[in-house]
Structure 1
Amino acid sequence: MVARLFRLRLALLGGGFRGSFGRGLRTALLYLLLAAGAIALAWFPTALLPAGADRAILDTIIGSVVLVAVFLVPFFENRRNLEPRQFAQYPASPGSIGFALLSSAILTWPFLLFALWLAALGVLRPEWAAPGWIAPLALGLAAVLGLCSTRVMSAVSKLIAGVRYAGAVRTVGTVLLVAFLPVAVFAGATAFGPDGRGLVDGLVDILSWTPFGAPFAALGLAAAGDLDAAILRLAIAGGAILLLIAIWIPITWIANQHVERPIGAGVARTGLGWFERFSARPSQVIAARAMTYWARDPRYRVALFAIPIAPIVMIVAFWVAGADPHLLSLLPLPVILLLLGWSQHNDVSMDSTAIWEHVASGTRGRADRAGRLAPVLLIGIPLALIGSSVTVTLLGDWRVLPAVAGMNVAVLLAACASSSIFSALMPYPATRPGDSPFVQPQWSGSGSGLAQTLSMLLALVLAVPPVWFSLTAVVDVSFVQNLWALAFGVGYGAAVLGLCILIGGWIFDRSGPELIAVTQVFD
């Protein structure tokens, strides 16, 4: 079994070079660039710092980040990984299949690039040469740890998500990656601050006791002469490898015994755009359709282009009035997020040609309410997190990043909560699909002004508690208070949004036929 899988891995290694000459050339250039990037990552600390404690700290941080990425990325992106379930029909025991998959994974491009980076580290760090056995052992443990992490996390993802939810898992991974960017910027800015060295030392000490940072911390400790501490760190890495192998064995057995519910042969799996990335559940299908509308319908694009105008006008007005420019940096992003979430307050009218499908099929109102928020949340949450970093940069104090991020996320969720109620409670005429985005249909019922005013007032009222809590933390800077502001903003916003989705869903369930009648009048 092992020999067969090694031959299969070799064939897969060369698969990208087969076909046309152009494809082979592109593949070769891609892997050459990736190899150069791996070597550059190993060379970067040597160019930045001389040999010593500072370089050891940087190596531990970079190595920990790489190993964490190797551990987490396969859970969200594993489409190209071989899995135990694919070999269940072969006359081999789960143990032999698991061992073959684990050992043959060394012949994959990601692992070869990972091994190249580790080898470059060994070559470019002459201070690791004494004692001679520490460096090969530590780098070897790091390589095996990365190999086992990839196999285990990929298999766990396959068991939990399967084919049906793989697209949703990848979407969540992308959102989490975007959410991590402000944290990385915040950490970098803090490290170069006046108190950064103490925080970095504390972080490295914590990382050295984790399996991700232990191999690299062991190398630095051995170079400094502390051999006993280095051996203890290597023991941590070795224990983590044994734990992953112990998890891998039952996963292999379960994967060969577990049969996923098959998808119908007539169900299309490719070419469906956003529908490939969401599972076959009412709220997620509605979310995929809403994402498709936002990508193709000019009515939504016009609204998105108009949203940034309001904060610009407000900033200019306050600036002319003599407001502090630094404090004005807190204003634009919450206003943009408020308008972005509020823009969904009449989404039933924007979706009038398909609302009858939800009512006729018996779709629960809460599924309709939750699904329609997908475009706003997928745009708004990354915007809130990345924009918070820009805001605190302009403000000049990175210590308030948690409070600012909590405030912005809470404002977005509060606006979405208000829209979840009013899009079912008070729909009013909107531009029909296919018409010019600047055409407004005539309507003899209650005007749009009342619905817009009430929905905006509710959004503002719901946003008051987290905004007040966050502004208090910004004015009186305290690390603990900023963390509480972040936790309160996210928790409060999620609770309010969930409650309003239930209320809006109840209104939708009770007034479904009336909504069809109203939308068909001006459709």
Structure 2
Amino acid sequence: MVAHLLRLKLRLLGNGFKRSPWQLVGVIIGGLYALGIVVMLSLAGWFTADQSDLRGWVAILAGSVIVLGWAVIPPLITGVDLTLEPQRFVHFGIEEKTLARGLILAGFISIPAALTLLAALGFSTIWRLDPAVFVVGLLCAVGTWLMAMFACQYLTIVATALRGKRRFRELSFALLFLLLVGLGPIFSTIGSNAESIFEVLVPISAVLGYTPLGAFAAVPGALAAGEMGMTAMYAGLALVYLIGLYFLLTRATGKATVTPPAAQRASSAKGLGFFKLTPATPAGAVAARALTYWFKDPRYALSVIMVPMLPVIFYFAGGSTGSYTMMLLLGPMIGILMGFAISADVSYDNTAFALHVLTGVSGKADRLGRVMACFVLVIVPLILAAVLPAALTGQPWRIPGDLGLSLGAFLIALGVSSIASARYTYAVPLPGDNPMKTPPGSGARVAVTQLATFGIMGVLLIPTLVPYVTGWVMHSTLAGYITLAVGLITGSLMLSFGIRIGGRTMDQRAPELMQSVMINR
């Protein structure tokens, strides 16, 4: 049975390359990129081998990054390959221990896992000058790899069980996204306050050596330093962690194979929600449904969370350089990003787009309703982001120009997105999926579509940028008011054209759009 499961995983891995030529191209490019990283890590280990004062803590940090990366990124952020997830075997009646062993071993069969093992072994050349330590380093590299794979599989099972709860999905995504966005400012602040990077990394590595993240990686360093007691302690801790994690994984896998996943229950709704606040028109109904998505669909959370996070990022980025000029660009950045967000609305609708096709909602009403929802949600934060930075930095002459550029960027982005989403769709995470999941074969099309959309926005924004840059250079309030007027006029015209052209395009292509969102599943 175990051998059969391994053959099944190999067959599934091979068949995955036959789904789409673009997917195969993406895998090849990604594999070459990953191999480049493996070579770089191997060379880094090779050339650091003669730095006896660096090898120990560098190896611990490298091992900890490997384990932590596998424990966090696949299960909780990007999603993992669930073709052999334990819940799929509930109805087969296979013995728990046998099935658990087979599924655990099958979890090691993947391209990222193989590349990770190569990277860990390659970095072990950091101990090449001492043959005995080098052999121990290779063994500990394998141990670190096993720890990473076990942690990934265990947390995947736990996350899969909890992912059925909507609040867990939303909260975990929000916290992880905030953590990822905040890593840069956090490290920047720590680095600027420390006299040397060693003051930060050495104490961290010393602590990580006692944890499951860096216990294996700490063994060769202690052995190279001649600390036999510490070597034995690190090795003992590492084995205890690995064996304990294996038993936890075996138990969780066995339990998952006999316990079906909890059924997801639809969230209860009381009253009409946003429908009682919007006009009783087709556009008003579309706006109410779009607002419901903005507040309840985790896939929209990325755009919503970016609004409060951008000031934090710009503040820390400016603090590290001593200049807060980037804060003055908050308004335009929020306007462009939030206006662009509705370009994926039709793709996010998925099968619900049938409501628009079957009920005969006009394309113009559809475009207008989605614009209304985004406008109501964004306009107040946008104005605050455009006005407050200049006011708080004692530069009131900038306010008209900042406001004009921000509103112009927002309106133009809404107009361009209204056309783009009526003409192009691309694969997005399905309703209920991990919001950060990337559907296979969609990378190239998404990149081209988004690049073209942003490029068109930039070209249309040029008439507003000319007086804005003039006012910035000359500190001219008059140029700022000209920017405000040009931004409102050009933005309103582009939005009007976008709604009309996008609506006409949607009326002509409604069946094709419906077919596209079905294919993108």
TM-score, normalised with respect to structure 1: 0.53
Matches of 2:46 and 2:97 in 1, distance apart?
Answer: 43
Which amino acid is the alignment partner of residue 215 of structure 1?
A: F
Distance change (3 Å), C-alpha of 1:352 and 1:369: farther
Given residue 106 of structure 2, which amino acid in structure 1 is its aligned partner? S
Alignment of 1:124-523 (within 5 A): 124-127=126-129, 129-131=131-133, 133-162=135-164, 168=170, 169=172, 173-190=176-193, 193-262=194-263, 371=296, 377-395=304-322
Give CA-to-partner distance per residue, 1:26-73, whole Å, 9 cap, x none: 433321221221231343355468421223322222221221111112
Q: Do the aligned residues in 2 keep the contact of 1:68 with 1:212 (CA within 8 Å)?
A: yes
Deviation of residue 229 (structure 1)? 0.8
> CA–CA distance in 2 between the matches of 1:350 and 1:175?
35
Q: Deviations over 1:306-342 (max 9, x none)?
A: xxxxxxxxxxxxxxxxxxxxxxxxxxxxxxxxxxxxx
**Structure 1 residues 37, 257: closer, same or farther in 2, change over 3 A?**
same
Q: Which amino acid aligns with 1:44?
A: A
Report how far residue 79 of structure 1 moved: 3.9
Partner SS for 1:80: coil
What letter is aligned with 2:53?
Answer: A
**Shift of residue 15, structure 1, vs aligned partner:** 2.8
**Corresponding residue for residue 28 of structure 1:** 28
Deviation for aligned residue 1:120:
0.6
8 A contact 1:286–1:371 mirrored in 2:
no
* Alignment CA distance shift 1:116-1:195 (3 Å): closer
Paired residues of 2:164 and 2:262 also in contact (CA < 8 A): no
What is the CA distance between 1:254 and its match in structure 2? 2.7
What is the rounded CA distance, in whole Å, between the counterparts of 2:370 and 2:23 in structure 1? 43
Could you tell me which amino acid in structure 2 is paired with residue 206 of structure 1? V
8 Å contact from structure 1 (residues 208, 214) kept in 2: yes
Counterpart Cα distance in 1 of 2:163 and 2:371: 43
Confirm or deny: 8 A CA contact 1:84 1:255 kept in the other structure.
yes
Q: Is the 8 A contact 2:185 2:313 kept in 1?
A: yes
Distance 1:368 1:352, change over 3 A: farther
Q: Higher mean Cα deviation, 23-32 or 111-120?
A: 23-32
Q: Using a 3 Å threshold, how does the CA distance of structure 1 residues 128 and 110 change in structure 2: closer, same or farther?
A: farther
Number of the residue aligned with 2:113: 111
8 Å contact from structure 2 (residues 60, 205) kept in 1? yes
Instruction: Give the whole-Å Cα distance in 2 for the aligned partners of 1:150 and 1:436.
Output: 42
* Structure 1 portions without partners, runs of 5+: 265-278, 290-346, 398-403, 413-431, 440-451, 465-523
Q: Which residue of 2 aligns with 1:2?
A: 2
Please report how far the alpha carbon of residue 117 of structure 1 lies from its aligned counterpart in structure 2 after TM superposition.
0.7
Conserved? CA contact 1:212–1:237, under 8 Å: no
- The answer on whether the counterparts of 1:75 and 1:153 sit within 8 Å (CA) in structure 2 is yes
TM-score of the superposed pair, with normalisation by structure 2: 0.53
CA shift, 1:153, in A, is 0.6
Q: Given the superposition, is the C-alpha separation of residues 141 and 388 from structure 1 closer, same or farther in structure 2, using an over 3 Å criterion?
A: same
Distance in 1 (CA, whole Å) between partners of 2:34 and 2:149 is: 18
Distance in 2 (CA, whole Å) between partners of 1:257 and 1:437 is 45
Partner Cα distance (1:369, 1:20) in 2: 32
- The 8 Å contact of residues 60 and 213 in structure 1, kept in 2 or not, is answered as yes
How far apart are 1:280 and its partner, in Å?
5.1
Per-residue deviation, 1:392: 1.5
Q: Distance in 2 between matches of 1:122 and 1:376?
A: 41
Residue identity over aligned pairs, in percent, reads 17
**Cα root mean square deviation, aligned:** 4.8
Q: Counterpart of 1:207 in structure 2: which amino acid? A: L
Residues 468-508 of structure 1 show CA distances to partners (whole Å, capped at 9, x for unaligned) of xxxxxxxxxxxxxxxxxxxxxxxxxxxxxxxxxxxxxxxxx
> 1:61, 1:213 within 8 Å by CA — same for their partners in 2?
yes
Structure 2 unaligned segments of length 5 or more: list them. Answer: 335-364, 373-379, 393-521
2:51 corresponds to: 51
Deviation track 1:194-242 (CA, whole Å, cap 9, x = no partner) reads 2543333221211111111122222212122222212211222211112
Ranked by relative contact order (alpha carbons within 8 Å, sequence separation 6 or more), the top structure is: 2
User: Are 2:107 and 2:149, in contact at CA under 8 Å, matched by a contact in 1?
Assistant: yes
Deviations 1:332-390 (A, max 9, x none): xxxxxxxxxxxxxxx9679997877999x9xxx9x999659957741224314422321
Cα distance change, pair 97–434 in 1 and its aligned pair in 2 (3 A): closer
Instruction: Name the aligned partner's letter for residue 239 of structure 2.
Output: G
Give me the whole-angstrom Cα distance separating, in 2, the residues matched to 1:222 and 1:384.
47
- How far is the alpha carbon of 1:394 from its aligned partner? 2.8
Cα distance change of structure 1 residues 19 and 215 upon mapping to structure 2, 3 Å threshold? same
What SS does the corresponding residue of 1:130 show, helix, strand or coil?
A: helix
- Choose 164-173 or 255-264, whichever is displaced more: 164-173
Matched residue pairs, number? 337
Whole-angstrom CA distance in 1 between matches of 2:368 and 2:65:
50
Taking the aligned partners of 1:368 and 1:112, their CA distance within structure 2 comes to 40
For residue 316 of structure 1, what is the aligned residue in structure 2?
none
Distance 2:294 2:123 in 1: 52
Quick one: distance in 2 between partners of 1:390 and 1:352? 45
1:272-301 deviation per Cα after TM superposition (whole angstroms, max 9, x unaligned)? xxxxxxx85669x999x9xxxxxxxxxxxx
Q: Is the 8 A contact 2:46 2:123 kept in 1?
A: no
Alpha-carbon offset, residue 166 of structure 1: 8.8
